[in-house]
Amino acid sequence: MTDIEKHRKQLEKRLAYLENRLENIEDQLDDEPNRDWEEQAQESEGDEVLEDLGNLGKEEIKAIRAALGRIEEGTYGECVVCGEEISEERLEAVPHTPFCKDHAPGRKA
């Protein structure tokens, strides 16, 4: 039996963390560029890393919001492919997962 309220709290906490982190990344990317050419080159590399982190965060935010939607719909903990129950161990590891272990992306059949 899945402890939905526990997972809801985990998801909401992670969502708040990621939204804050994303806001900080966006603030850093909006900073004025340095006038020194060498410093600009280093900042540019750093900006690429920040953009990648921001994109990963956006994807996780999207997955978390979808999981919260499934909680509201009453389908949280059910695989979106086969409808079988997702194991509690899997939900503990990845609370926003919509897939059972048999339908997880990258899993070889």
Q: What is the pLDDT of residue 55?
A: 84
Q: pLDDT tens digits, residue range 62-84?
A: 999 999 999 999 999 999 999 99
* Boundaries of every domain in the chain: 4-103
Stretches where the chain sits below pLDDT 50 are none
User: Of how many residues is the chain composed?
Assistant: 109
Residue type present at position 23: E
Q: What is the pLDDT of residue 26?
A: 81
Q: What is the pLDDT of residue 76?
A: 96
Query: Angle, nearest 10°, between helix axes 4-29 and 37-73?
Result: 160
Closest alpha carbon to 29 in 55, 48, 16, 2: 48
Closest alpha carbon to 50 in 26, 74, 75, 85: 26
Q: Which CATH superfamily is domain 4-103 in?
A: DksA, coiled-coil domain (1.20.120.910)
Q: What is the pLDDT of residue 79?
A: 96
Question: How far is 79 from 98, CA to CA, in rounded Å?
Answer: 6
pTM of structure: 0.77
Q: What is the pLDDT of residue 54?
A: 83
Question: How far is 23 from 87, CA to CA, in rounded Å?
Answer: 33
